[in-house]
Structure 1
């Protein structure tokens, strides 16, 4: 058995007195797209923020490529190969598209590699290349989402964490963003996807976890969960 790339074991996370994650465990294998679905406030974003070092678990372990990263500072976690596209995009609105992408590579010194990754980002997102000198805050919502994803890819992550990439986008754009996520995965990046659009998420993922009020209540192959009556009722408008 190959060891999972990411292994979360029984983590508990608190916001002050609020017990946000209650002993959750999950795994992501190399090359997979794994999705975490659940209602608003279930703890999905908290899970990603804990993996990327923005929150510290009170108990439990987070292993990435065999090393415990619970409590490691966020910038160190980026260096180790985990990059997060935050909910709400959080691009640098006053900077140009190009400046945002350059900042994505701030932990790197390999000029040739950075240039190659920039070409790759422009292949995935041709619109960013057309708008490379445009101020990021003037882009459409869909273009800002592409920029946030492109910026994360510039750190050349082994694992990409995506938090609600479809939020606030028109259906046609959502389809485009999800196609791009599949392409990112095919070109060798493992993906952990948090998404309220459960239909879309389950359609591209290999495995899925359902999070309810800080606990994982279901997990399994994405196709099985998509077919489950329980999941259909709760998340797929069935």
Structure 2
């Protein structure tokens, strides 16, 4: 579904991604783990058209999307749920969800998808007329995921969905990611909680200072001594 071929991305003089290649197959959850500043968010921003690679190619569903506008990439079904939730604080929950569907014209289907989001996250239904800025962190994360689902993603890029959430909510969010995947959405997950991410992913890549240093089956990687020491708190 997604094939990233040897991309190089710069922030000014900083070489943020250095010859990164990876692939995501249809139906998978692939996780990208790595320390802060490794380039994980940069990679997602490049895939969704917010940053342009200097060299290399990105193929989505067999077509090159490198250098295309973010709007064009969204229209093809590659949807980015950004780090830090980024809900529109002065708009209601319902208005945020409507914005997720702003490129769609199929009004009946939009209505059905909205009901689907409320079914998945009943708390959002209770608060649908509430300003999003007044929601808790966990509720804002549900809203950010719900808004992304309103775009009908073929591939969902999720950036740090568990960041800053209470442990109990973290479980909920990972369960939600699994459910979304089981219902047919392919997921590329960036996550600092490597332990949880490796539990739900099929495959994983490890990014260090802009380079992919390891990749493989998620369950196997979670048993690797190297990964345990670096990302799983040594146990």
Query: Shorter-chain TM-score: which interval?
Result: over 0.9
Question: How far apart, CA to CA, are the structure 1 residues paired with 2:21 and 2:74?
Answer: 22
For residues 21 and 224 of structure 1, the distance between their equivalents in structure 2, rounded to whole angstroms, comes to: 25
Per-residue CA deviations over 1:125-152 (Å, capped at 9, x if unaligned) read 1111111001000000000000000001
Given the alignment, which residue of 93, 99, 105 partners 2:101?
105
User: CA offsets, 1:69-114, max 9 Å, x none?
Assistant: 0000001110000111100000000000000000000000001111
Matched, 1:118 2:118: no
Q: Does 1:207 align with 2:203?
A: yes
Q: What TM-score, normalized by structure 1, do the two folds share?
A: 0.98
Once residues 71 and 122 of structure 2 are traced to their aligned partners in structure 1, the CA distance between those partners, rounded to angstroms, is: 28
Identify the residue that residue 158 of structure 1 maps to in structure 2. 154
Q: Distance in 1 between matches of 2:213 and 2:120?
A: 35
Instruction: Give the corresponding residue for 1:219.
Output: 215
The structure 2 residue matched to 1:27, chosen from 23, 27, 35, is 23
- CA drift at 1:41: 0.2
Q: Which residue of 2 aligns with 1:58?
A: 54
Cα displacement (A) at 1:123: 1.6
Provide the C-alpha distance between the structure 2 equivalents of 1:220 and 1:16, rounded to a whole number of angstroms.
32
CA drift at 1:119:
1.5
Deviation string, structure 1 residues 154-206 (Cα, Å, up to 9, x no partner): 00010000000000000000000000000111111000000000000000000
Distance 1:139 1:60 in 2: 41
Give the Cα–Cα distance (whole angstroms) in 1 for the partners of residues 6 and 206 of structure 2: 15
Matches within 5 A, 1:41-56: 41-56=37-52
